[in-house]
């Protein structure tokens, strides 16, 4: 059985947009030791790169590191994959989601789908996913996510990716504020989980067809993230749907236990003129073909139980 030894030296420009669904559902606190060079770039929804492509989330006094879903969409485009609508959750499925937990998980999934469609400039699908996220968020009581004015702005800016992403960011920031004010952290955590599951589904599905080492490396990095995600969900395990999801994620975590992942931090280089950062840190993942397939199969199983 062959092994993949994937060494990813981030010595090319990578962009992490400070936006979009699940990752923005919580108060975010940057690590000051690694983000002091990025503070000036964080205004007005400008594009920034965060070390390790992640956010530090502070919830109930605890800090967790969870990657933003949008980074995987950028990576998928960067490695040369083409847009594939069939890997997204069909908007027609939305009528099936009856419980708040199901709606929240799938709002996260649809948010990731919206990011994917927007990054790949598929404006027709992006508009469809804006509409469905508006519908589900309204059913959850988040009525200010995409109002009529926002929808008009979105359609008026078709073809302008930066503007579209900034508008999505603004919308989900409003949702973030609503959830914090109404003390619905459980809904926010499930939205986050849905987005993470969908983007791992993207990566694992396309890694099999592209044989991209960068995608395999991104999959391996989730060995750390899944532990954080489970910890975020644990306070809400009294809910049957959440308990079931935790059990499934623990099974996935067990699969990850056999994967060797190492990360070495190297100081990034920031260009204040172009507002970009060149990441030079290195991560190493060693996984077998069988492990990659098992992860892909398991995340597909988890996703299927949600959508």
User: Which pLDDT score is estimated for 48?
Assistant: 34
* pTM (predicted TM-score): 0.73
The parent domain of residue 96 ranges over 3-306
**Better-predicted residue by pLDDT, 101 or 187:** 101
Average pLDDT for 73-77:
82
**Cα distance between residue 178 and residue 67, in whole Å:** 22
**Is there a contact between 174 and 132 (Cβ–Cβ < 8 Å)?**
no
Token pair of 45 as six digits: 């929804």
Query: Residue 270 — very low, low, confident or very high, per pLDDT cuts 50/70/90?
Result: confident
3-state helix, strand, coil in the chain (%, to 5): 60, 15, 25
User: Which pLDDT score is estimated for 8?
Assistant: 34
Average pLDDT for 30-41:
39
Specify the range with the lowest mean pLDDT, choosing from 43-47, 80-84, 190-194: 43-47
Specify the range with the lowest mean pLDDT, choosing from 81-95, 166-180, 214-228: 166-180
**Cα distance between residue 66 and residue 229, in whole Å:** 7
Number of domains in the chain: 1
User: Which pLDDT score is estimated for 14?
Assistant: 27
Residue 4 has pLDDT above 70, yes or no: no
């Amino acid at each position: 059985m062959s092994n993949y030894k994937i060494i990813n030296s981030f010595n090319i420009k990578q962009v992490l947009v400070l936006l979009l669904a699940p990752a923005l559902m919580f108060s975010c606190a940057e690590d000051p030791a690694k983000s002091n060079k990025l503070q000036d770039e964080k205004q007005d929804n400008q594009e920034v790169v965060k070390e390790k492509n992640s956010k530090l989330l502070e919830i109930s006094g605890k800090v967790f590191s969870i990657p933003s879903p949008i980074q995987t969409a950028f990576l998928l485009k960067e490695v040369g994959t083409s847009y594939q609508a069939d890997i997204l959750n069909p908007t027609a499925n939305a009528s099936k989601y009856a419980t708040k937990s199901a709606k929240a998980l799938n709002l996260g999934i649809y948010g990731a789908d919206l990011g994917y469609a927007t990054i790949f400039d598929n404006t027709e699908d992006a508009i469809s996913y804006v509409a469905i996220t508006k519908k589900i968020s309204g059913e959850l009581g988040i009525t200010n996510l995409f109002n009529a004015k926002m929808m008009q702005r979105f359609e008026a800016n078709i073809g302008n990716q930066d503007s579209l992403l900034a508008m999505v960011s603004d919308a989900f920031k409003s949702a973030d504020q609503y959830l914090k004010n109404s003390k619905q952290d459980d809904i926010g955590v499930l939205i986050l989980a849905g987005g993470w599951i969908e983007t791992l589904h993207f990566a694992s599905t396309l890694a099999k067809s592209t044989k991209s080492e960068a995608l395999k490396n991104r999959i391996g990095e989730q060995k750390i993230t899944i532990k954080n995600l489970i910890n975020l969900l644990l306070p809400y395990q009294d809910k049957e749907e959440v308990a079931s999801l935790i059990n499934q994620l623990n099974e996935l975590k067990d699969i990850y236990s056999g994967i060797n992942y190492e990360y070495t931090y190297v100081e990034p280089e920031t260009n204040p003129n172009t507002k970009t950062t060149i990441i030079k840190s290195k991560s190493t993942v060693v996984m077998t073909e069988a492990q990659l397939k098992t992860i892909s199969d398991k995340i597909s199983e988890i996703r299927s139980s949600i959508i």
